[in-house]
């Protein structure tokens, strides 16, 4: 059976793509952000996952406001990157993991999640930048199963529903008849708001409590309604739902404990409080 090795939660911001392109990793503005990644890369170099299941939100590239699935799972042999409008250079295509895609899709539908399946899917910065940050050199060494969660257009799925979906994805991975190693990524958050009267809103206290909860009490954030999460973290801060799905995927199996590999938190990059957290699953 496949082995679920751990998870990585990270913020995504289009400007990171520009900074990578311009080689600004050591620049004083960017260093506190990029500096969080080497210990996690070192861990990944040791545990060597073959596949990544990527929870992220599409930002109007593959889905626009006229057709917005709550949950969508990629089932494509390859995912092409495109720019949803920020002008950041695109990355080469990412390889899919079709067998795991269908394993997840079949499991989710069996467990009564009415998902959209995408046999073609363009991926935006939220899917591609975490992969580039974790494997900056050369071709991306992992295959990918992208899973989109709508945090763009209301109504958004409740935190408890996202948690249940993430857990079902974890069960699907654990039951996958493969000798491959799988890591789960949650791409989004933490607190930020890009528009409206509260543009620039950041909530460090909540972010740090949320990151801590993922180690000690992963269901903690499910107590909040979507409106409470938006109030606390901002209209885009609600992207932290990706981290919740990611962590829920690790709660399956006889041993559901985790060990912290590394974390980082830095305010701000662009408008966002950036978080980074890697947890290894204890088997
Ligand atoms: C920013 C953050 C995001 O999550 C995003 O999708 C776009 C922009 C920002 O802080 O600039
Ligand atoms: Fe975003």
Tokens of 181: 């190693």
Average pLDDT over residues 182-188: 98
pLDDT single digits (tens) 67-113? 999 999 999 999 999 999 999 999 999 999 999 999 999 999 999 99
Tell how far the Cα of 14 is from the centroid of ligand 1, in angstroms.
6
Residue 189 φ/ψ region, left for φ over 0, alpha for ψ in the -120 to 50 degree band, beta for the rest: left
> Tell me, what's the pLDDT at 222?
98
Q: Tokens 């909860």 identify what position?
A: 213
Average pLDDT over residues 48-64: 98
Please work out whether the CB of residue 13 comes within 6 Å of at least one atom of ligand 1.
yes
Please work out whether the CB of residue 236 comes within 6 Å of at least one atom of ligand 1.
yes
Tokens of 270: 């662009």
> Tell me, what's the pLDDT at 197?
95
Residue 243 confidence class, pLDDT cut points 50, 70, 90: very high
Angle (CA) 17 261 223, round 5°: 85
| 220: Cβ contacts below 8 Å, ≥ 6 apart | 209, 210, 213
Residue 255 confidence class, pLDDT cut points 50, 70, 90: low
Q: Could you give the CA distance from residue 161 to residue 236 in angstroms, rounded to a whole number?
A: 18
Average pLDDT over residues 44-66: 97
Ligand 1, atom 8, lies closest to the CA of 13
Ligand 1, atom 2, lies closest to the CA of 13
Strands 78-81 and 122-123 turn out to be: parallel
Percent of the chain exceeding pLDDT 90 equals 97
Tell how far the Cα of 217 is from the centroid of ligand 1, in angstroms.
28
Q: Is the peptide bond before 268 cis (omega within 30 degrees of 0)?
A: yes
Tell how far the Cα of 256 is from the centroid of ligand 2, in angstroms.
29
Please work out whether the CB of residue 3 comes within 6 Å of at least one atom of ligand 1.
no
Name the CA dihedral angle for 3, 147, 143, 265, rounded to a multiple of 10 degrees: -80
> Tell me, what's the pLDDT at 253?
74
Tokens of 76: 């494509």
Q: At residue 254, does pLDDT exceed 80?
A: no
pLDDT single digits (tens) 203-234? 999 999 999 999 999 999 999 999 999 999 99
> Tell me, what's the pLDDT at 277?
98
Please work out whether the CB of residue 201 comes within 6 Å of at least one atom of ligand 1.
no
pLDDT single digits (tens) 119-144? 999 999 999 999 999 999 999 999 99
Show which residues are catalytic: 125, 192
| 153: Cβ contacts below 8 Å, ≥ 6 apart | 65, 68
Q: What is the DSSP letter of 4?
A: E
Tokens of 252: 């399956």
Tell how far the Cα of 52 is from the centroid of ligand 1, in angstroms.
22
Please work out whether the CB of residue 235 comes within 6 Å of at least one atom of ligand 1.
no
Q: What is the mean pLDDT of the chain?
A: 97
pTM of the model as a whole: 0.98
């Amino acid at each position: 059976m496949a082995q679920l090795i751990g998870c990585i939660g990270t913020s995504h911001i289009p400007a990171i793509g520009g900074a990578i392109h311009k080689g600004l990793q050591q620049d004083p503005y960017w260093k506190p952000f990029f500096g969080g990644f080497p210990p996690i890369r070192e861990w990944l170099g040791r545990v060597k996952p073959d596949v990544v299941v990527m929870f992220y939100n599409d930002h109007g590239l593959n889905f626009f406001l006229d057709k917005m699935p709550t949950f969508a799972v990629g089932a494509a042999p390859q995912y092409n990157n495109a720019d949803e409008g920020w002008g950041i250079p695109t990355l080469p295509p990412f390889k899919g993991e079709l067998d795991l895609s269908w394993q997840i899709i079949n499991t989710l539908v069996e467990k009564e999640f009415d998902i959209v399946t995408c046999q073609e899917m363009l991926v935006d910065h939220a899917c591609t930048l975490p992969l580039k940050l974790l494997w900056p050199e050369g071709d991306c060494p992992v295959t990918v199963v992208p899973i989109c969660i709508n945090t763009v257009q209301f109504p958004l799925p409740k935190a408890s529903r996202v948690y249940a979906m993430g857990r079902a994805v974890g069960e699907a991975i654990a039951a996958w008849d493969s000798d491959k190693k799988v890591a789960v990524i949650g791409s989004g958050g933490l607190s930020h708001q890009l528009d409206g009267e509260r543009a620039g809103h950041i909530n460090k206290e909540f972010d740090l409590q949320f990151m801590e909860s993922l180690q000690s009490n992963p269901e903690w954030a499910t107590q909040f309604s979507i409106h409470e999460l938006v109030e606390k973290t901002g209209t885009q801060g609600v992207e932290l739902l990706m981290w919740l799905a990611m962590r829920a995927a690790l709660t399956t199996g006889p041993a559901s404990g985790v060990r912290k590999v590394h974390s980082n938190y830095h305010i701000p990059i662009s408008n966002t409080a950036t978080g980074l957290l890697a947890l290894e699953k204890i088997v």
